[in-house]
């Protein structure tokens, strides 16, 4: 069944000029981009996106990082889009991410891991309106 997922190219990806190559990988996998916006993430958005991590040791540095420069927020559609994107992104820690995955090929460290992808359909439905309120 066709579904949607939220993908955010994090500030390190934008700074390093990786956006085109990363978006190309998602297109090559057969996904269709339905929304794209370059923006500076505000505190309401980062707090909502990472609410599940509030209170963890890395929470403050995670927010500082997400606010460190512009991101590219995107929404993608396709059969099994959520799981497909997670597979293309690879493990959270780039040191453990398989070669051929986005984090395996481009990621430098767990706290600069290039890209975010929704971890479930439910997460996608929660995350998309944080960045694209009113998207059809
Ligand atoms: N142990 C850790 N130390 C430092 N940063 C961490 C750690 N665990 C997670 N993070 C950071 O918090 C983000 C969110 O963690 P989460 O467990 O949701 O991983 P993820 O789902 O693979 O990543 P994301 O939600 O960004 O797609 C990670 O992408 C990473 O940048
Ligand atoms: Mg996550």
Q: What is the model's pTM?
A: 0.97
Q: Considering the chain, what is the average pLDDT of its residues?
A: 97
Which residue CA neighbors atom 1 of ligand 1 most closely?
A: 58
How do residues 66-85 score in pLDDT, each as one tens digit?
Answer: 999 999 999 999 999 999 99
Determine contact, residues 102/22, Cβ cutoff 8 Å.
yes
* Residue-wise pLDDT tens digits, 13-39: 999 999 999 999 999 999 999 999 999
Ligand with an atom nearest the CA of residue 13 = 1
1 falls in which pLDDT band (50, 70, 90)?
low
User: Domain 2-131 has what CATH class?
Assistant: alpha beta
Ligand 1: which atom is nearest the Cα of residue 119? 21
CB 70 within 8 A of CB 11: yes
Is-catalytic flag, 53? Answer: no
Catalytic residue among 4, 25, 103, 116: 116
Domain boundaries in the chain? 2-131
């Amino acid at each position: 069944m066709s579904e949607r997922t939220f993908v955010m190219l994090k500030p390190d990806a934008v700074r390093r000029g990786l956006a085109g190559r990363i978006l190309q990988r998602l297109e090559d996998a057969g996904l269709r981009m339905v929304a794209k916006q370059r923006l500076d993430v505000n505190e309401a958005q980062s707090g909502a996106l990472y609410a599940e991590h509030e209170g963890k040791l890395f929470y403050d540095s995670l927010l500082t990082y997400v606010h460190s420069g512009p991101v590219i927020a995107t929404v993608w559609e396709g059969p099994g889009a959520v799981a497909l994107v997670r597979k293309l992104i690879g493990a959270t820690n780039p040191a453990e991410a398989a070669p051929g995955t986005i984090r395996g090929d481009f990621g430098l460290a767990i706290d600069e891991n290039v890209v975010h992808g929704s971890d479930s359909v439910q997460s996608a439905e929660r995350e998309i309106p944080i960045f694209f309120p009113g998207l059809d």
